[in-house]
Structure 1
Amino acid sequence: MSVSSSVTLSGWRWRQHGKDDDQPWHQCAHNRPTTEIFTDLLDAQIIPDPFLDQNERHVQWVGETDWEYACDFQYEPDRSHARQDLVFDGLDTVATVYLNGRGDEILQSSNMFHRHRVEVTGKLRHGLNTLRIVFRSALHYGRELEAKHGRYRAFNGENSRVHVRKAQYHYGWDWGPLLVTCGPCGEIRLESYASRVHDVFVDAQVAEDLQAASVRVSFDAILNQDVSVDIAIVAPSGGEVVRTSTALGAEESRGSAALVIPKPALWYPVGHGPQVFYLVEVVVTGRRDQVPLHSVRKPVGVRRLRLVQQPLVDEPGTSFFFEINNEPVYISGSNWIPDHSFLTALTARDYASAVGMCVEGNQNMLRVWGGGVYEHDAFYEECDRRGVLVWQDFMFACGQYPCYPEFAASVQREAADQVKRLRQYCCIVLYAGNNEDYAVAEMLKLTWDRADQSGDWTKTNFPARTLYETHLPAVVSEHSPGIPYHPSSPWGGEGTEDRTVGDIHQWNVWHGSQEKYQLWDKLVGRFVSEFGMLALPAAKSVRRFVTDPAQRYPQSAVMDLHNKADGAERRLALYVMENVRVDSMDLDSWIYATQLVQAECLGFAVRSCRRQWKGPGRQYCGGHLVWQLNDCWPCSSWAVVDFYGEQKLAYYAMKRDAAPLALGIMRSTPELKALKSPPPQVLGPPHDLAPKHHIFDVWAVNGTVQDVHAQIDVRLYDIATGALREERRLGSQALLANRTTELLQDVSVDEKTAVQAIMRDIRDGGRVIARASDWPQPLKYVALAAPSPDLLALSVLDGKLEIRATAPVKGVQVYLSQQPDDDRDVSWEDNGVDVFPDDVYTIHALGLVKGDKVEVRHYGSTS
């Protein structure tokens, strides 16, 4: 239809730069449009795989080296195409671009996040053309900038990284390797046309009563004649169409038009309604001859968004929650780091799989963390399609960043380039200025006077405040005015640890004061945007990246190299030894122990946060985002899904506790329950010898948009014998929509009793729709049932597994016993479960076949 063409360049070749010009080129082993040096060196078998063993140590020279890439492309002139542009979606990072010759420089770029459109009209040859890109070492470049502009502190990676606008995690993090890559990481296209529009933005403002949407369609234009621009918005059903048109003269570079959609079909996050999209079509036509010149088509979701920060009933501070289409949405999600150290190795299917894992885990938000990248379009497209909300950081993390004029100008352009790209995705509900840079300012005692609202702090030792509070919000306001801006994460109140205002990163479990995770209910904030517990990856994953069997033990050199967390050996041992029995230090037992502790910790954290979602005016916690969903390489980390896609026990624990309908139980003492914060940690006798009176509470969470009536039973079992000590039938309970309902308070319980609560659907024959359990803490003191052949019984059926127990059993992990010639995989719907007498626990399992041998491990077992 359109008189324009676009050709994506591919077929790259590469070599080391700065050597003899006659040195041979290496052809990329693939024909993808994007690539980078590490994947190409791997394909050429020049370097060992840095993800395996200790090979990371042997490839550091790559980041210290300059490289160059080249590719050839054909161009045949077309008289209807008056202009030719080379469009660069991203270059990583310090790049000089040449067209058809060493001296024909067309572009210099030193910001990985810039997008470029370079006019090359009249510079192209008929037939074969060559594009060549020289990439300088970002490490060397950053050190030169540091020598010129001064040293600024960075936590994780070398200090020079803060001067370089590159993915910061490439410099190494406390979960990621030091692999400073480079290359044509974004698509490069040759676009030929006469006139075109780009950066089309459909800004839909939904009325408060949701009965109409005022739509402004704006765009940039490159024109060589007077044109008409016709705009049509097609309803999700494909039926009714809203149309308008506008005219632009050849000299104009921007245009817009306004429309109104009556009674719009609205886009909702997962669990709250459908994900529907209008189709917006923009067609450019020459006014003189009525010839179509260019067209743009894009799906657009329409929704009303608010970040609600308002006073609360009975508690200090203000709320922090998201409201979509006038409906409060409790956030249950994860932090998202780049899914690979080499991003060009990822495909759209990889992003779809990761977002799908988020949805399947009952999560509705991903926070794109500020030390990675503004993600690939495929990521946001999938979040739009699946109804996953996105909290989008700007790319600054854990550092004291500069703000000298050229740096600030580069950042302002970066922000505009990326916000204009991302603003059409309705999944994005917040922009945050950085990750933890105000916390860094507090740690370094930088100048941060909240009363100083001058807007220019470049002369202080916290110059980046000017970026976060002046430049970035201005860009968001100009280019995406409907999205809230948050200066940092964490941010709010009296400092970054204020639990009553804004969001917090709750790292006083693991980092900080290293509180016991059983105190998590004392650590909840208005919105907890980071928290976590470290664990090892799955045993089958360890066997993939540790190739030498002699290194497959918890304290080996390879295992330590693949654990980047500072002091991890001590902290992990602290939390494991403080909480669970460790009968063996073999690798599989240690993996299970760390994953069980992670699951226990994160499950209780999720329950503690969700409990505080108590209805209108009482949204004391608006959401939680675990650190982290994923890994960028194989390692021990805080991820709940390891690099190879294996779900840790914590993934399932969080899935259960974040389910639309869920139960919660908390055991405490009256004295501890009354506290609002953890008690001070004091040195003294190792044990309090006074007898304690233990109590427990039970509550239910209805995260759906409908009131629910359910039957709830609570049972108390003797752990050692399996005898039922007490049963409380609570009968039919009315669970109001979108909030927590308290069910039982201060019920006495002793240290030999485990508690189970079961929720049944009274409309569906008493089908179990939620379970919860509670055990004496710490688990290492619990007197478990004696091992016996009939303690657990498994029934393997097609597509499901049934588990029965004669006494309470903790943390039952099931996995397929595979033969060497069997590469089948089973997708478990649930795992790491607590099984009680009188209750058949059914786990659906895609790929499971009756007769399969299923292995089992549980807390206290030795297999």
Structure 2
Amino acid sequence: MSNSEIVLKNWSYRKDGTEEWFQSRKEAACTEIFADLLNNGQIPDPFLDTNERDVQWVGEQDWQYLNSFEVDSALKDLENHELVFEGLDTFATVWLNGKELLKANNMFVEYRVDAKPHLNFGGVNELLIKFDSALRTSRSLEKKHGQYKCFNGETSRLQVRKAQYHYGWDWGPILMTCGPHLPVKLVSFNSIIDDVYVNSQISEKLNATIDVQTDIRTKSQVAIDIEVISPSGKVIEKAASKVDKNGLDSFKFDIQNPELWYPLGHGEASLYTFKVTLSNLKEIQTVIKKVGLRRVELVQEKLIDQPGTSFYFKVNNIPIYSTGSNWIPCHSMKTLMTDQDYTDWLQLAVDGNQNMIRVWGGGYYETDIFYDECDRLGLLVWQDFMFACGQYPGFPEFIETCKPEFDHQIKRLRNHACMAVYAGNNEDYQVAENFGLHWDQNDHSGDYSKTDFPARTIYEKVIPDALKSLNPQVPYHPGSPWGGSHTTDPTIGDIHQWNVWHGTQEKYQDWYKLGGRFISEFGMEALPNRKTYEDCITDKTELYPQSESIDHHNKSDGFERRLALYVFENIKVEGLDLDSWIYATQLMQAECLGYAYRCWRREWRGEGKRYTSGAIVWQINDCWPVASWAIIDFYKRPKLGYYSVKRESHPIGVGLYRNEKKFTHEQAKPVSKEGAPHDYSKTEYNVDIWGVNATTEPLPSTLKIDIYNVTLGDIIESLPDKPVTLSANATTEFVESHPISNDVPVVIYARLVDNKGNIIAGAADWPQPLKYLKFNDRKVDFTVENGQIRLRANNPVKGVEIIVERDVFLQDNGFDLFPGDDKIVVAKDLKATDKVSIRYYQQAKK
């Protein structure tokens, strides 16, 4: 008899202590209380206006969920009947037909319970789950175990294994939800495949040794058939065996010259199909895994002429410059996310030339579709374990609660080729430093229970032991940031560079001296699209930058001062109406992020000189409509910063940086920038220009450079065309310290052209700060066609934004335009009849 799987749907819910049941969302296999209350109109939408304040009572209540389901009497002949709870959020007691089955306390664990003694075969069964308030429970646990320190949210969150962002973050609301957030199912069987692990070992010569490990439970003899299909669709291996008891069945074979999985920009993301069938005269169960074969290494080696060590990923022996984004949960009510949402979001990352996504440790281990899509698209995943910004406990009960979580999640993720590195936590070592906790880096005992930083036991002993046992092929990093003598050491490990925006609030033009070996967090805030505000603010009189509603949709501490600081330091603000302010913040974010990517990518200088190996912006997405560091807002509307990152992450690029030298009046010697508050000494400028090539082949091209008078728009100098060759997988210096006229403000426009005269990369360097610039006559003409927009400028134009009335994805936006270089922006879904307008920096008012 084949196995049976019943997925429970059509839940009912009620507040604990009340009588009336309410229907959950129809056909929903997983749900949560905020989604259900919202669906039934029992709460105002917490994403609208300031409604978040009015729904806080939900998280302070206990809630019950009920499911009634029938079990066919024929299934009684099967020996085993298990209720599988893929995810319960968080403190849950479960009863089946009045009998208590389970007490759960970890959102990230899958629970399996023997249900056979309590099932009603041939009739109706009732599954009741009571969810205790995680907020009240965490506070109770804090009283018992003591208060620990943290950034963001309240301190009691550290006591529980629940998505930490539910407690509120500096970009997200406080929505303490609960419920069966992943499917609950009844699985009935005599024999079953519990797990299939495709354990692949890729040699340095890139040959593959495969061990298909099938974890089986059975009391009778069953047959296992394995079929392996190549990415091109050819069956390359078949095997059959018989087993008669619980345990692992192993099938090993070699593949010479396998079709390997490569990250975006370096080859195909090839996936093999592994089909494992369990049978006993007839098929019982089939498990299919799509698996990419790849060799991944985290390389930390000495550098030729700088201190410390490198920190870069090598995939199939190719050094990879990591350019990408941090990923937070895409929704504060995760069960409202669809598979298509994940596909859309990750396609946006790919369209933005990103090759790495970092799953941040304050949310949850993402759903299967997320990792499946990363495999398919060639996106590397940096996976944090779910600890963020806190001094977590380390007492035995807490660690024992975590161990099943680690085992379950590692087993769930280990077949995914996208997995590049696991990190033990987000910023917990930084918390230890900031609060002066005891942290002896020379103590490698693995037991830190007697210190005030006991969670080191988790990060440096428990997790690495689990990985060594279950998935040793993927590198492990104890935390992020981590490495060197302190967490901000730029010479070893990764850093989170928040001295722009947070910290010392440096000028973003100084990103070049704020780098490190791998920058896994940095960012700049900007407002979202006007349509996003119109979608989340119902009172249209609130649509101005300083309104209470707009302020409510910004959770960053001190954002008014910091945002104003960076905008007014850099951008001429044409008005404080909402449209002008949105454009100013988005242009400022775009300039800021572009500088960072450009400066740091320059330091990928080749073998032994990979001084900076990655830049992962904070962040790509939002969990609700909000002004934040996201480069795409909640409704999937890219900000100008998304396009700036996209341009700087293109496989082929040009980089420019303007250097400044100060001289005394009497001497020709440079002087320090420090000194008198107003320094009127002579200033000279020069520019460096370099090229970027992320491919593995050298690229010949021609470098063209024009220097324009910003104000008048005319060319004051054109450098001779220069044949250049971009080194493979490295940066190549083209021009060093070329002097620039200081008599007038100039913009340097550099581009690489191929042998047919086509521009393959281009960039411009404008005088800083942009607010000092003045422009004379500028005109941008554009035409709208099906699928594209054509633009032309008579003079250099900064920050051209295309605005389409309806939501249409543009392949570029927020770009600079130069005379003679017509711009075509592709927009696949655009129609010639669409209403389109443009704006650009310091556009003359009509």
TM-score, with length taken from structure 2: 0.96
How far is 1:856 from its partner? 1.4
How far is 1:132 from its partner? 1.0
Gaps of 5+ in 1: 673-678, 819-823
8 Å CA contact 1:339, 1:631 repeated in 2: yes
1:32 partnered with 2:28: yes
Of 479, 492, 506, 1:515 maps to 506
Instruction: Tell me the amino acid that sits aligned with residue 543 of structure 2.
Output: R
What residue in structure 2 maps to residue 475 of structure 1? 466
- Secondary structure of the 2:753 match is strand
Distance 1:794 1:353 in 2: 29
1:51 partnered with 2:47: yes
Gaps of 5+ in 2: 664-670
Distance 2:586 2:283 in 1: 60
1:849 partnered with 2:831: yes
How far is 1:240 from its partner? 3.6
- Assess, with a 3 A threshold, how the Cα gap between structure 1 residues 680 and 246 changes in structure 2: closer, same or farther: farther
How far is 1:680 from its partner? 10
1:417 partnered with 2:405: no
Of 239, 257, 272, 2:251 maps to 257
What residue in structure 1 maps to residue 218 of structure 2? 223
What residue in structure 2 maps to residue 141 of structure 1? 137
Distance 1:37 1:558 in 2: 25
- Assess, with a 3 A threshold, how the Cα gap between structure 1 residues 436 and 584 changes in structure 2: closer, same or farther: same
Q: What does the per-residue CA deviation read over 1:800-843, in whole Å, with 9 as the maximum and x for residues that have no partner?
A: 22222222111111112x4xxxxx43321111111122221222
What residue in structure 1 maps to residue 108 of structure 2? 113
1:166 partnered with 2:148: no
Of 571, 583, 599, 1:608 maps to 599
How far is 1:257 from its partner? 3.0
Distance 2:384 2:270 in 1: 26
Distance 2:331 2:835 in 1: 34
Distance 1:263 1:335 in 2: 34
Of 738, 748, 751, 2:739 maps to 748
How far is 1:622 from its partner? 1.0
Of 258, 264, 268, 1:274 maps to 268
- Assess, with a 3 A threshold, how the Cα gap between structure 1 residues 341 and 315 changes in structure 2: closer, same or farther: same
Distance 1:395 1:584 in 2: 43
Q: What does the per-residue CA deviation read over 1:155-183, in whole Å, with 9 as the maximum and x for residues that have no partner?
A: 11110000010000000000000000000
Point out the more displaced range, 661-670 or 836-845.
Answer: 836-845
Structure 2 counterparts to residues 48-127 of structure 1, below 5 A: 48-76=44-72, 77-78=74-75, 81-101=78-98, 104-126=99-121, 127=123
How far is 1:284 from its partner? 2.5
User: In percent, how many aligned pairs have the same letter?
Assistant: 49
- Secondary structure of the 2:403 match is helix
1:835 partnered with 2:817: yes
1:692 partnered with 2:683: yes
8 Å CA contact 1:785, 1:808 repeated in 2: no
Q: What does the per-residue CA deviation read over 1:582-612, in whole Å, with 9 as the maximum and x for residues that have no partner?
A: 2311111111111111000000100111111
Distance 1:680 1:593 in 2: 32
How far is 1:80 from its partner? 5.3
1:427 partnered with 2:422: no
- Secondary structure of the 2:781 match is strand
Distance 2:77 2:834 in 1: 65
Of 363, 366, 374, 2:365 maps to 374
Instruction: Tell me the amino acid that sits aligned with residue 112 of structure 1.
Output: M
How far is 1:407 from its partner? 0.5
Instruction: Tell me the amino acid that sits aligned with residue 92 of structure 2.
Output: A
What residue in structure 2 maps to residue 232 of structure 1? 227
How far is 1:671 from its partner? 6.8
Distance 2:693 2:720 in 1: 19
- Assess, with a 3 A threshold, how the Cα gap between structure 1 residues 671 and 214 changes in structure 2: closer, same or farther: farther
How far is 1:862 from its partner? 5.7
Instruction: Tell me the amino acid that sits aligned with residue 247 of structure 2.
Output: S
How far is 1:776 from its partner? 0.6
How far is 1:246 from its partner? 4.3
Distance 2:117 2:507 in 1: 68
How far is 1:795 from its partner? 2.6
- Secondary structure of the 2:140 match is helix
Distance 1:144 1:79 in 2: 43
- Assess, with a 3 A threshold, how the Cα gap between structure 1 residues 292 and 456 changes in structure 2: closer, same or farther: same
- Assess, with a 3 A threshold, how the Cα gap between structure 1 residues 851 and 374 changes in structure 2: closer, same or farther: closer
- Secondary structure of the 1:78 match is helix
Instruction: Tell me the amino acid that sits aligned with residue 461 of structure 1.
Output: D
1:536 partnered with 2:535: no
How far is 1:462 from its partner? 0.4
TM-score, with length taken from structure 1: 0.94
8 Å CA contact 1:712, 1:730 repeated in 2: yes
8 Å CA contact 2:662, 2:672 repeated in 1: no
How far is 1:851 from its partner? 5.5
Instruction: Tell me the amino acid that sits aligned with residue 55 of structure 1.
Output: N
8 Å CA contact 1:243, 1:259 repeated in 2: no
- Secondary structure of the 1:828 match is coil
Q: What does the per-residue CA deviation read over 1:193-236, in whole Å, with 9 as the maximum and x for residues that have no partner?
A: 110111211110011111x2111222322212133433332222
- Secondary structure of the 1:456 match is coil
8 Å CA contact 1:826, 1:845 repeated in 2: yes
Instruction: Tell me the amino acid that sits aligned with residue 729 of structure 1.
Output: P
Distance 1:364 1:608 in 2: 18
Distance 1:703 1:623 in 2: 12
What residue in structure 1 maps to residue 780 of structure 2? 792
Structure 2 counterparts to residues 257-336 of structure 1, below 5 A: 257-286=251-280, 290-336=281-327
Of 450, 453, 468, 1:459 maps to 450
- Secondary structure of the 1:190 match is strand
What residue in structure 1 maps to residue 646 of structure 2? 655
- Secondary structure of the 2:127 match is strand
What residue in structure 1 maps to residue 666 of structure 2? none
8 Å CA contact 1:3, 1:81 repeated in 2: no
- Secondary structure of the 1:646 match is coil
How far is 1:280 from its partner? 0.9
Of 767, 789, 805, 1:801 maps to 789
What residue in structure 1 maps to residue 209 of structure 2? 214
- Secondary structure of the 2:562 match is helix
- Secondary structure of the 1:63 match is helix
8 Å CA contact 1:95, 1:110 repeated in 2: yes
How far is 1:731 from its partner? 3.3
Structure 2 counterparts to residues 775-786 of structure 1, below 5 A: 775-782=766-773, 784-786=774-776
- Secondary structure of the 2:116 match is coil
8 Å CA contact 1:785, 1:807 repeated in 2: no
How far is 1:577 from its partner? 0.8
What residue in structure 2 maps to residue 676 of structure 1? none
Distance 2:474 2:238 in 1: 26
Distance 2:375 2:757 in 1: 35
- Secondary structure of the 1:741 match is strand
How far is 1:792 from its partner? 1.9
Instruction: Tell me the amino acid that sits aligned with residue 95 of structure 1.
Output: A
Would you say how many aligned residue pairs link Structure 1 and Structure 2?
A: 834
